[in-house]
Structure 1
Amino acid sequence: MSARLRSLERTYSLSLKRGWNRYANESERERPEVLGREALAALSPRARLEYEEVRSVCHANIGPIKTPQLLSVHSDLWNILRSNRQDGNKVRSAAALDAFPGLGKSTIAASFGRDFHRLQIELYGQLTDEGHDRVPVIRIQLTDKTSRRDFNSALCRFFHLPGADSGNANQLGNKAADAILTCETKLIIVDDVHFLDMKRRDDRAVANHFKSLASTFPVTFLHVGVGLEARGLLDEGLSDNEDLAQNGRRMTALTVDAFDVDSEPGRRIWRDLLLAVEQCVVLADAFQGMIADELSDYLFARSTGHFASLMALVARGCDRAIQDGEERLTIDVLDRVKNDAAAEKARLEMVAAFENGRLSSRPSQSRRSTPRKYRRGGSAA
């Protein structure tokens, strides 16, 4: 009996130190070899099963891709982090990544955190001067009901501290604070901050807690969420509420734009993205231009320029092409794939615009090579 295949899915939680370390330290997946139809037919049933598993995981984990949106946010974050080198008696500013769903903001934030983690380890080593594990980055995800105690408990769980669920908010906060200082944490990523509503007293307490931590410890906060300005977290400093005004003065707002094909530069950027995705697809009958040329308008209409919708459609389309024996992406194959509800809702109007010539995703002079800025992986420091 042949040995069982080791699971290829990297199952970890970025909200735990051991999971974050694995994410930060693991290398990128290698693209599996593209086998032609004859080679596929020659595989034994067991080898074919394993090959399909490898391809499935590969297609589900394409990216991150260095889009202009990712590069722009990473550049701003590096600027903020490099400028936030104040001594402990000064308050460090925070950043807030505020964008609509499906534009890749969580991926952008996590990939930046990974780059920052790697740089800190490269510069200062795995251990602090006192011999403790260095933890440059903490990543916490909020829920719809996160109190100050819940947040402090999540910080303790990240470090795997004993008694992470025991004690009141202050006691848990003291434990977390000791760990932050001991492990020389520099960046705290807080995802799904849109669950906080500044109209609610408990949620204002959590937001004020962020401000308190930033005032007390040498860390930079990166808040990630949807509609943060509308929820009052990014007040411009003109509010009558003193707490919100302080938040507005201490936060730098960043955003992620959807892809658009209303201009020639936008169409070129869209094509570059499709070329990069095309390089990651592992199908026997795939060919250059399969995605970037033949499916450009179709994919934009189905995804409405949203990165998450595009990647879900490609991954599901590849799976359908494999299971149905097509071994290439076509409109017929992709028509058999369902996408997220938001993209499907906007699909008909977008398709009509392409069909009657009011809209095109194709640049006037299509480029045949992939620009360097679209190589796979996180942003360079």
Structure 2
Amino acid sequence: MEIGTKEGWREYVDEAYERPIPVATEELAAMSFGDRALYNQARAQYTQAGAFVKTPQFRTVQAVVRDRVMLNRYRQVGKLGVIVSGEPGQGKTTTLLQIGKEHELRRRETGHASAGKGKLPVVYVAVPAQCSAKALLQEFARFVGLPVLTRMTFGNLLTMVANALRSCSTELILLDDVHHLDLQYRHNIEASDMLKQLSERCGGTFVYAGIAVEDSGLLSGSRGGQVSKRFELHTAHPFQITSKEGRADWGDLLLALEDSLCLLNQRSGAILDAAKDLHRLTGGEIGLLKDVLQLAALHAIDDGTEMLDLADFSREVAARQGARKPRATV
């Protein structure tokens, strides 16, 4: 699925995985090989693609984006935006996509004009590495499905894309991988300037996401000063358990992920016994935590235990600590 096109994005928004109905282990064992395989596949799909955990960070960013969409509706110039920054594994792209998906579904459910026939309430574009302003505009054109002729000038292309976004009633423009717009390169400066022009002309709200955006130059200098005034920066951090509030947030995340695993013998809340070990293993990174738990769940389904092996997390922590210990010199 190519979400960088309107067809792929629509497929992503329409995609929904229902949580498989829980069955007793005896019922699972009594299934035919084929039925059991289908049931396990449905669980794996739901765990990896169908279940989304709304963390406090996600809720904060989503609320800010909603506010700016409403405010920008009445602003002629100086459109407001949002930047989601952070190191890899902090859920930036997942946050970006989920915000866009929920916005479009909400527009559809309320019969909003932006979700009518031929409209595109949300556009998603990933910034290519070392891209020029024209190349980035071509990514917008590719999403919308506009034909790009080789003889087109930058001005022609900008006008075509801006007019298309406006005629499609696009409210939300999601721009991923903005760290590729490192402003130490001239063509990236031109691409950054183009985004400002496009923002003023298309009427939508831009939401950027990227790795350590603060260090890319996008927010520094005279150009960066304008961006930083109009865009609210939100930096995604790993979960910390050094405070009571942090431990509570980490526990809530673990409980939500535990529930999403759909393991038949997993006692609700048992995962909290491994809270510290899981934090040591993942450093509080939500992406890595999901990988660890989903792999453990697949093993539990495969070996028939249908529950997380919490002791295995302790063993892994001990093994890593042992590997870090300096060897005694002779």
Residues 348 and 172 (structure 1), Cα distance of their counterparts in 2 relative to 1, 3 Å cut: farther
Q: Could you say what secondary structure the match of 1:96 adopts?
A: strand
Which residue among 289, 303, 306 is the counterpart of 2:285?
306
Corresponding residue for 2:139?
A: 154
The aligned counterpart of 2:40 is: 52
- Contact conserved, 1:194 with 1:231, CA < 8 A, in 2? yes
Question: Do the aligned residues in 2 keep the contact of 1:234 with 1:253 (CA within 8 Å)?
Answer: no
Q: Is the 8 A contact 1:166 1:172 kept in 2?
A: no
Q: In the TM superposition, what whole-angstrom CA distance separates every residue of 1:324-375 from its partner, at most 9, and x where no partner exists? A: 33321113555899xxxxxx9xx649x99xxxxxxxxxxxxxxxxxxxxxxx
Tell me by how many angstroms 1:215 deviates: 2.2
Choose the corresponding residue for 1:30, options 11, 18, 36.
Answer: 18
Equivalent residue for 2:212, pick from 201, 206, 227: 227
TM (normalized to structure 2)?
0.88
Name the counterpart of 1:93: 80
Mapped contact 2:120–2:170 kept (Cα < 8 A) = yes
* Post-superposition offset of 1:291: 1.4
What's the offset of the Cα at 1:218? 1.1
Alignment partners' CA distance in 1, 2:115 and 2:172 = 17
The amino acid of 2:122's aligned partner reads V
TM-score by length of structure 1 reads: 0.77
CA distance in 1, matches of 2:88, 2:82: 18
Among 231, 247, 255, which residue is 1:267 paired with?
247
Structure 1 residue 142 displacement after superposition: 1.2
Percent of pairs with identical residues: 27
Q: Tell me the equivalent position of 2:190.
A: 205
- Cα distance in 2, alignment partners of residues 126 and 228 from structure 1: 30
- 2:297 is aligned with 1:318: yes
CA contact (8 A) 1:234 1:251 kept: no
Which structure shows the bigger proportion of residues in helix conformation?
2
- Matched residue SS, 2:270: coil
C-alpha separation in 1, matches of 2:8 and 2:315:
36
SS at match of 1:279: helix
Identify which of 175, 181, 196 aligns with 1:196.
181
* Match 1:245 to one of 217, 225, 228: 225
Distance 2:224 2:43 in 1: 49
Alpha-carbon shift at residue 62 of structure 1 (Å): 5.3
Runs of 4+ in structure 1 deviating by more than 6 angstroms, as ranges, are none
User: Is 1:118 paired with 2:109?
Assistant: no
RMSD, aligned α-carbons: 2.5
User: Alignment partner of 1:140: what SS?
Assistant: strand
Q: Is the 8 A contact 2:65 2:81 kept in 1?
A: no
How many Å separate the matches in 1 of 2:201 and 2:261? 48
Q: Name the residue aligned to 1:17.
A: 6
Distance across 1 between alignment mates of 2:263 and 2:284: 24
Shift of 1:144: 1.4
Q: Which moved more, 1:113-122 or 1:178-187?
A: 113-122
Number of the residue aligned with 2:328:
none
Mapped partners of 1:119, 1:289: distance in 2: 32
**Using the alignment, how far apart are the partners of 2:240 and 2:165 within structure 1?**
41
* Change in CA separation of 1:287 and 1:165 when aligned onto 2, cut-off 3 Å: farther
Count of matched residue positions in the alignment of Structure 1 and Structure 2:
321
Counterparts in 2 of 1:25 and 1:61: CA distance versus 1, 3 Å: closer
* Alpha-carbon distance between aligned partners in 2 of 1:203 and 1:137, rounded to the nearest angstrom: 24
| Partner secondary structure for residue 222 of structure 1 | strand
Q: 1:55 to 1:165 in 2, by over 3 A?
A: farther
What is the distance in 1 between the residues matched to 2:104 and 2:249?
A: 29
Counterpart in the other structure of 2:95: 108
Counterpart residue type for residue 206 of structure 1:
A
Is residue 274–residue 313 contact of structure 2 (8 Å, CA) maintained in 1? Answer: no
Superposed CA deviations along residues 109-151 of structure 1, whole A, max 9, x for unmatched, are 22222222233342524666xxx61111111011212221211
Partners of 2:282 and 2:151 in 1: how far apart? 45
Deviation, 1:217, is 2.5
Asked whether the equivalents of residues 58 and 95 of structure 2 are also in contact (C-alpha less than 8 Å), the reply is yes
Q: Distance in 2 between matches of 1:164 and 1:263?
A: 57
Compute the displacement of 1:289 (Å). 2.3
Deviation at 1:101, TM superposition (A): 1.5
d(CA) in 1 for partners of 2:138, 2:165: 13
Displacement after TM superposition at 1:79 (Å): 2.0
Distance, in Å, in 1 between the alignment partners of 2:149 and 2:2 is 17
CA 80–117 in structure 1, closer or farther in 2 if over 3 Å, else same: same
Matches of 1:309 and 1:155 in 2, distance apart? 31
Give SS of 1:197's match: coil
Aligned to 1:4: none
Question: What residue ranges of structure 1 are gaps of 5+ in the alignment?
Answer: 1-11, 338-343, 353-381
Structure 2 SS opposite 1:295? helix
Taking the aligned partners of 2:196 and 2:125, their CA distance within structure 1 comes to: 16
Change (3 A) 1:59 1:117: closer
